[in-house]
Amino acid sequence: SAVISQKPSRDICQRGTSLTIQCQVDSQVTMMFWYRQQPGQSLTLIATANQGSEATYESGFVIDKFPISRPNLTFSTLTVSNMSPEDSSIYLCSVVADTDTQYFGPGTRLTVL
């Protein structure tokens, strides 16, 4: 398995501002994923982040809105830019371990006013 931490655990932000979420893993991993969980909804993949290459975004998500960094094999950041109330969600990172299993961080609960 993998132990994943996220910072911050929650935040309340004003519209028009940006928030950077950090994801730290206790072991080196190739693939990291960022998901969004809107209130009462399931999880939707935002992007896949490989170390040393540009993140790959899913349909409906763009780099200008959700820039991602992946500077090494244990760390990644997701920025939510120019926020609006519609961005209020839980943001989760995950990694692949044990060959084919994704493990998730505890999530960052974002509220945009």
Residues that bind another protein (CB under 8 A): 1, 30-31, 33, 41-43, 45, 48, 58, 90, 92, 94, 96, 99-107
Residue pair 66/34 in contact (Cβ under 8 Å)? The answer is: yes
Minimum CB distance to another protein smaller for 65 or for 109: 109
Min separation Cβ 21 and another protein, Å: 13
Neighbours of 66 (CB within 10 A): 20
Min separation Cβ 72 and another protein, Å: 18
Min separation Cβ 92 and another protein, Å: 6
The alpha carbon dihedral of 63, 79, 27, 51 has a sign of: positive
Tell me the CB-side half-sphere exposure of residue 53, using CA atoms within 13 A.
Answer: 10
Minimum CB distance to another protein smaller for 71 or for 106: 106
- Give the 3-state secondary structure of residue 28: coil
